[in-house]
Amino acid sequence: MNRVTASLLILAALAVGVHSAAIDAPIDFYKLYDNPEAHISLKSKATTADRTAAHGYPSEHHHIVTEDGYILGVFRIPYSHKLQNQNVKRPIVLLQHGLSSCSDAWVLQGPDDSLPYLLADAGFDVWMGNARGTSYSRNHTTLSTDHPLFWQFSWHEIAIYDITAIIDYALGTENGQGQDAIHYVGHSQGTTVYFALMSWIPEYNDKIKTAHMFAPVAIMKNLSSRLVRALGPYLGHRNTYSVLFGSQEFLPHNEFLMAIFFNMCQPDFMLRPVCESAVATLYSGGRVNMTAMPEGMATHPAGCSTDQMLHYLQEQQSGYFRLFDHGTKKNLKVYGSEEPPEYPVELIDSLVHMWYADNDDLAAVQDVEQLAKRLPNKVMHHMADPEWNHGDFSLNKEVRKYVNEPVIAIMEEFELENGGT
């Protein structure tokens, strides 16, 4: 969803354009004030649970408290209404979103193509995580989002606190009881937190059956993103710029503005053409699911801490996959060394499937393959389509054929060979 922020800006501009065009023409004030839709009444934003329930799937919204006090909103499709398999033990799958995204991203393409629905219909118990700071995980046991300490986290904390909490909670929930491991799917930052967790707390590898990394991001030395390469020299080091930018909410959450964008993209709203026009402006190559994109604009960006971005920029500048760089003085205090330590990815012995592509500007082939050389138990899936890019793993109109179905087949084979343990 790396173009969604731009989408929102275009959408706003188009909305202004619509307004300008309207006032240049004669105004029928009677129709204006007699039109019930002119008196805009904003609908409540649909949650991931609402979206899945709308397609007939059983849907649950869980609140999970992490060891350091963050309260995560996590969604679950426990079984398939088509299979009626609620009384059968179902293998657990956790899906983890990318930076500034959320659980909504997994269901945008609807029940025929989206991975959560396909997994549920294949007999899996599906969990969709939301990292701290996203629209579904903006609560804490003691801190308000207005408190600067709330935003003092990077993807390292998401890895060691959020992902561990979700895995343990899912395994301890009804149906999870008696199972000791799950399947994991991550996209972009969802892969970063996996690599960080499984190398930093390696005992969690025992809780993984198969792991699927969509657009793996860890080593970032060779990425081609112009934005990241432009910002790296300024924000990828501990200096005045990064200190001023750090430990705050990126694009502060505004319920009113997000509600406006959400409502603009509703299928039955009069300004739906504005939303569709913005989508068409950005996505004209015919590769993405155009029906899903207005839903994406209605739900993204979903929020994050600027420290997550700083951490990625540090990776790009250093060329290493390592912990957050606090500067020499604090590094000595926290790590006992002037430089932050590298993640020992050699300790990741869970079965990792790497799904990567030539046209991904954030996960360069060279970087992915360099990381893979250090992983003891991996399978490489180099996408054959030379145009496949970072967002295609969630938005491509053929993602079911080229990614989702192969992933499910791998999970099913594992279950068959291991007796569903």
In order of 113, 141, 195, 393, the CA distances from 189 in angstroms are: 22, 25, 10, 13
Give the sign of the dihedral formed by CA 95, CA 96, CA 98, CA 103. Answer: positive
E strand or H helix that includes residue 356? strand 352-356
In order of 66, 117, 119, 289, 325, the CA distances from 165 in angstroms are: 6, 24, 22, 33, 25
* Local structure of residue 269 (DSSP, 8 states): S
Count CB-CB contacts under 10 A for residue 259.
16
Count CB-CB contacts under 10 A for residue 135.
22
Please report which residue ranges of 56-205 form alpha helices under DSSP H.
115-121, 155-157, 164-172, 189-200
Catalytically annotated residues: 188, 360, 390
E strand or H helix that includes residue 209? strand 208-214
DSSP 3-state of 244:
helix
For every residue of 388-402, DSSP letters joined together read --TTHHHHBTTHIII
d(CA 392, CA 356): 11
Please report which residue ranges of 266-346 form alpha helices under DSSP H.
272-282, 293-299, 306-318, 328-334
Give the sign of the dihedral formed by CA 224, CA 230, CA 235, CA 238. Answer: positive
